[in-house]
Chains A and B, each alone.
Chain A
């Protein structure tokens, strides 16, 4: 490679050339052009000629910031060029550095320290300003530590232009190196009293940022801020001060009382919307207990809402959302405007309005709101329609459907939503349909109805978005087929030709559900003929029994017996009138045979399907039909003997299958596994070879297990309400193989005591992330729940029981984020603000602290003593903080000693030391002034 030469300097392409070149590139060749230019730049940047280097770096910066080219390799060249004495070069170098350096990964930043220090103490304001803005963008802890003395000097610079930049830059230094607060904070505070608008703006901006992170430390500065709030006429500054007060006011009640008036004044007087908006937000967010102020603010919100400017409308809605948390009347007053905003042209405004509407949802108005929204959804564009549906689904299902009382309505509503043409929320509706089916027993009847209408509609099969919903509907109608009015019709619907449009996974659900329905039909038929064919009411009794069984659990455990039984009776009565009679009409041998044939012909081709799920399920059903056929025909031909035997076997199988399907799955909480204490002898990492023995054990009894299950079922049948029994005792809940297995190898199962804490025996369909939960809290919740239920019982229409598993709601959101740095900053701030008084009482405990504070709040303030109280209490907080800091400091020093052995560095340390002493000195004198807040009294 040729070294940089005169030719390079003379014929170097300028920035303009590059920009033009990029612009003139034919499409697609841009990367090649950029690569070529980069090669040139790589060469040029090594030039000894500063001008050449500068232009190369500038070109590179252009490519980096606008075309995303990596320039980390040129970091050293930036440092090199920054030492140029020419301002133009320095400017280019610093711009490149601030745009491309990454504070945590660029290691040459350390090499820049010296140059920055030099420039920070330069006599040219422009150099200083360049260095400051560069420092603010590439600040890291080392840089901050080493340059703190220079910044400290600049904070009281005589040139306002420099001073304000230093103030702005020091925010980053504080963040990176909290110990800098100790040195510089006093000077920063002094700047609050300046008359220069630029400086004031910078310092208020700085406090605004600091106060967002940890407001409490800045309470002692309230008098200064108050002065600015009252005296200042600059909107930029006022906005920042208002933000600070929004953070401080909730911490100190007297403060809010004091500032609410000037804020209202500002709001009334100002013509600037930004300031008016800030006043509004401050009042509604932090001073919502001052009625008159809130009224004023809401008036302003209304102005915003009525304005033609979409920005103001949007912000008005946002403000209203905030008011709504405490003052619902504000929303009601502006109801028509909010509803109007739902049909705005702007999606963002619509969304904001939607959020506001949803925040108002409660038990009483959920139906009305949902009706309004759904009619809006039907009118809106697909995207917003789905937003609406998403919000409705989310809000209604929140916290186990807490806003829903009338589940029949909600279930029907879910079905309605699924039918909206643009609906893409199939997944969510699917989940909720199944979830409600499992959690809310009382809703099942309506659920089956809704599912039927969904499954039966051939038009829905063509819409891939509702396939999920259809799967849920098919599952529901199969699972709760006993509640179905017409299982025959159901089987037909589940096997209609258009089901070929479904995805394989959904289709297999269809087949399985058809299977369940078929079994139910055959079983009912068998029951009808076998038990007492002459008794016409046999079936109705059967239906009734089904319902009773279904409900008995609820009856037993929820003690809602009266209404429940009434419900059941109603169903029975209804069944006698319509459904049972119709079913009886269908339930002839011919119809059953027809049904079996229908299933056979429809599923026959599917046995050869490519999809394993479909193929397997279809084969299962077909196999079952094969088994049944002799019996059915046997019945037809009245052939005894042979037939008897066949019938016996077949009916047994039917019974078996029916029992299998009517068995409800046992509960497993998502976090159940975590609750199981590790048994003593259990070594999880051991070789599992001994399991083989167990597994081979399992294989053996497979053939005999049928009889086992059988006998248990028989037992169950004879029991009057077996489910009830199951509820009450902690007996083994399963009647299948599982139980047997469990008996033998209980070690590998969850202990059944787990059930004790669960509310009822249903698995959660979708549960929030598992959280470890305090048992006591759990219990408290449960008792609360039961209280609620009892209360509801007295209402006209009781809310059905929603089954919840133990966990899920106790969202212990672990907000244990590490806020070490903020703590360090605020700790240091407190120390500086209150430090000099802290001669005693560092031993005070935190609790005494609190009590003194409470006392202080209770008492009507008489004199400045109160504030001293606060000061003292805060000071003892600092006590503990300080110790930490000291260790921190000393370790920092040690590190310094280690690191820097050069003469220069030692100089700097000396320098720094001096400045720190100076700072300490400065702290000694005016410390009282910020602490005495005259206006608070």
Chain B
């Protein structure tokens, strides 16, 4: 199973963290520090796996972002690389040639998409189309609500209640 997913920029800025195993806030900060130190220093054309505290971390760089997933020793690294690629493709399709800024300003969307792909550290949905459809449906739900909520009339009514 996947223990956590990290997105780290080339400069070491964290863009997304999702933990499927329990880590305290302190441990999380430590993990981030250790791993970004290990992974960002690795040059191109090297293998995409690093060993870390008895686990394996599979990472892959897309543009300026490193996508990292931590798995057990006996998990399949190539499968995880495919999952990462799968996630990136879905992001790409959703945002329309995704870039780091998209993820920065829509960090919550990146989470929602990830939740459709992975659940409890396991791959949930292997069809890109299905994920896109689901996310689209959820977004439209949100849009409706937003329209309703953002009308000033509604706001004033709320406030003066």
Residues of A within 8 A of B (CB): 5-6, 9-10, 15-16, 19, 23, 48-51, 58, 61-62, 65-68, 70, 86-89, 91-92, 95, 99, 102-104, 126, 129, 132-133, 136-137, 161, 164-165, 168-169, 171-172, 197-198, 201-202, 205-206, 209, 212, 234, 236, 239, 243, 273-274, 277-278, 281, 310-311, 313-315, 345-349
Contact = CB atoms under 8 A, between A and B. Distances in A.
Given A86-B149, A273-B78, A9 B158 contact: yes
B63 interface: no
A161 B134 contact: yes
A281 B18 CA distance: 29
Contact of A348 (B16, B46, B78, B116): B46
B124 A165 contact: yes
A348 B51 contact: yes
Given A68-B25, A277-B78, A348-B51, A16 B105 contact: yes
A104 B22 CA distance: 9
B78 A209 contact: no
Interface in B103-161: 104-105, 107-108, 111-112, 115-116, 119-120, 122-127, 130, 134, 137-138, 141-142, 145-146, 149-150, 155-156, 158-161
Given A165-B124, A348-B49, A209 B1 contact: yes
B15 interface: yes
A198 B49 CA distance: 28
A314 B107 contact: no
A168 B120 contact: yes
A311 B155 contact: no
A126 B116 CA distance: 11
The 10 closest A-B pairs by CB, nearest first: A274-B78, A6-B159, A88-B142, A310-B47, A136-B120, A346-B46, A86-B145, A205-B122, A314-B47, A168-B119
A278 B124 CA distance: 20
Given A65-B107, A201-B126, A205-B122, A49 B159 contact: yes
Given A58-B108, A65-B16, A168-B122, A274 B47 contact: no
Contacts of B29: 68
B47 A49 contact: no
Contacts, number: 163
B11 interface: no
B149 A51 contact: yes
Contacts of A91: 112, 138, 142
Given A126-B138, A274-B82, A311-B48, A95 B124 contact: no
A51 B145 CA distance: 10
Nearest to B107: A62
Contacts of B125: 164, 198
B126 A236 contact: yes
15 contacts: A9-B158, A15-B105, A23-B104, A62-B108, A133-B115, A133-B119, A136-B120, A137-B120, A161-B130, A165-B124, A168-B122, A171-B122, A273-B78, A310-B45, A345-B43
Given A311-B47, A311-B78, A6 B107 contact: no
Contacts of B43: 345
Contacts of B134: 126, 129, 161
Contacts of B155: 6, 9-10, 49, 51
Nearest to B1: A209
A161 B116 CA distance: 10
Contacts of B156: 6
Contacts of A104: 22
Contacts of A89: 145
B93 interface: no
B138 A102 contact: no
A197 B123 CA distance: 12
B76 A274 contact: yes
A784 to B, nearest CB: 32
A102 B24 contact: yes
Contact of B17 (A66, A70, A102): A66
B81 interface: yes
B108 A92 contact: yes
B88 interface: no
B50 interface: yes
